[in-house]
Structure 1
Amino acid sequence: MNVLLIGSGGREHAIARALSKSALLSRLYAAPGNPGVAEVAELARLDVSDHAAVAGFCAEKNIEFVVVGPEQPLVEGLADSLRAKGVAVFGPSKAAARLEGSKGFVKDICRANAIPTADYERFANEEKALAYLREKGAPIVVKADGLAAGKGVVVAETLEEAEQAVADIFAGAFGKSGAEVVIEEKLEGEEASFFVLCDGTHALPFASAQDHKRVGDGDRGPNTGGMGAYSPAPCFTPEIEARVMREIVAPTLRAMREMGAPFQGVLFVGLMLTKDGPKLIEFNVRFGDPETQVLLPRLEDDLLELMLACARGALPERKIRFSPQTALAVVLAAKNYPGTPLTGTEIKGLERAGEIAGVIVTHAGTRREGDKLVAAGGRALNVAALGATVRDAQALAYRGVDAIDWPDGFCRRDIGWRAIERER
């Protein structure tokens, strides 16, 4: 079958590479894609916010299945528009995508269904929000309700910092996403990411991962979209997985069905593993970035077949097959990231890195300028590797990193440190 992949980042390059291996695939298109995606797919110039144009492209190219990578098109209802035209989609409806599109919506579902999460309140009024902050004190977490490109969350260590975050959100720092604010207790523990495939009725565990949000070694500096990741997460034991499926995933999917918005696609469960057990931090309604770059190299099943099963309401009963090896990915970012990145700088040496056995280079924010490959965003590349242990995967990934010639890029040098400490 012909398939269209929506998106342009490292996640989409990893998905495109996995889809290209499927025996079910006839032709793969991507919109807008990137230079890495172009190696395995035909790029299409499409405005993905124009749903009629996307549907028209599907009709023109005889596309039977669309895979939506990023969250924005899902929250805007692209899946609904395509399904209305008879095109199958991997990704939730607009109503179901509220699990990422509104943090307050998720917290209310948790409260109504006794799903373990941080205590919270939500506010549409700045003065009431500030009064609640002063009552609770710091540390505390302040979140813009809607999508904010990963920047709408402030973990405030002081009351002053929390008050400033509330003021910024209500002043319009995140546009419509800040029409409401969610204020919640700060959870303590170790974070982990867990991915579950859903077909509207059933859920099938996919895989776990841990990423590194801070820009600098030792988890220092400002938060980013992620500077690296590894999978599986050693802290995410089978016992914890069973508990998350029972206490968080199952009641959430049941609640969504009962409100007439069954969830189909991948559910990204962001967790804090506290002394009282796993608690939900947030849901995403798509694969993570850079987690996808370590999940999919381990996948031994046909990704397209699994995605189709989600869309058709027919997930298999059996476990999904993964390599027992660890995958670890390092993000190469442009100087000044996560501030205003230095873009347009040339990147060389990708061929050398790719020739190292076991190394996988994924494009995230790059573009072609003639024969040159240049940085086009903050996070430009992911360099991943597979190894018998986290330490082995880390060593191989950094061999790949060091083969790349990019003086205007940087990376963390300690990706995987927490898991390596566990291996000692």
Structure 2
Amino acid sequence: MSSQKLSQNIKDKLIQKTLQHKLKKAENSGNGIASLLKSTTSKQAKANRFDQHPGYQQMQIIKNGAASLGIESPFFRTHEGVAGATSVINGKEVINYASYNYLGLSGHPKVNQAAVDAIEQYGTSVSASRIVSGERPIHQALEAKLAHMYEVDDALAFVSGHATNVTTIGYLFGAKDLIIHDEYIHNSSIVGAQLSGAKRLSFPHNDLDALEALLAEKRHQFERVLIVVEGLYSMDGDHPDLARLVEIKQQHYAFLMVDEAHSFGILGDSGKGLRELYQVAGKDVDIWMGTLSKTMSGCGGYIAGESALIEHLRYMAPGFLYSVGMPAPIAAAALASLEVMEQEPERIHQLMHISKYFLDTAKSLGFNTGESTGIAVIPIILGSSVTAAKASAALFEKGINVQPILYPAVPEQSARLRFFLSCEHTEAQVRETLVLLKTLI
């Protein structure tokens, strides 16, 4: 008998003995083969029910726990008009801190008219992926304007902000690569990294010494390395040191990607984002990403950078290639928002003023605002999910709409109320809100 056959015989005997052991164990427990089969069938049946999915069950536990404490759900509240510094919910006007209409451009007459004009010329859908027959002049105008704002070669607009990160990171990087990101990075970047198959590591929030140490230890093991950070972190309202990040990426021959979903239109004297704040050239960052749903009053995302990057994504990125083109009215609204932003810089200056007023007032009242730099996004950390949920509900009863951020979205000790500021908020609204909150906790 050959050694190969002998080896297979040994494997077969081992498998047989293992199976006999399992069956004997089942018989000794009084269950027997029938019980074992019944148990297996039961598990399969349970796994075939959506109401038994672990995620759904966890959601129900949280929901039932809130109900037992008498806390009304703060989610999916229906706004009946434009959501800016104020909004109408359930027929009642409220002071609104739950929308990222930072510059008040969603609902601006020029932005609305641009969308209406685009509907009349192009309809409500381009009815195809852009590479097939969905391309419209308004797409090209928007992308040229974005590239101009970043002072880079070109830009590409996607129909979804989340999908922009998923498809860009997921497509460009692979199993031989390393993706290092801030521990607070958005879910879309994490999903993109997972899709890519690259090795993924995180570093402590805004700790660039830790990032450097990781690169010194790991860089030589990988072909390409991508560093991913956000321009303004939407949970904490702080930002990284872009100038140092550029130095780090150059030293270690890495790509740098900056997600400007919340920072473009917000940071810098004219709202050009993190690069303007740090006086960094647009071409010093390899991949600029942003969304059209904040200061640009639309929906979708974009990538801006060198021509080789954008042309590559335009022809090959699955999330662009196989998705319908952005509706023309959305592209028109975003383009008009960029134009108004340039024409009315006082909106940015007013946002800076009201954000600073909010931060200073909150601190004077003894609130914990974490690491927020005091521009557009300011948390008030309450340290308990129950406290945060109750405070949100109590404020809503008094006509103030602010969302609680609860565990597991943040650690329990970091549970908070998250305030999105608009340039249209007034000092009176801010003071009323914070004084009232002080009486509630």
With the shorter chain as reference, the TM-score category is under 0.3
| Structure number with larger C-alpha Rg | 2
Instruction: Return the TM-score normalized by structure 1.
Output: 0.28
Instruction: Return the TM-score normalized by structure 2.
Output: 0.27
Higher relative contact order (CA 8 A, sep 6+): 2
Higher helix proportion: 2
Higher strand proportion: 1
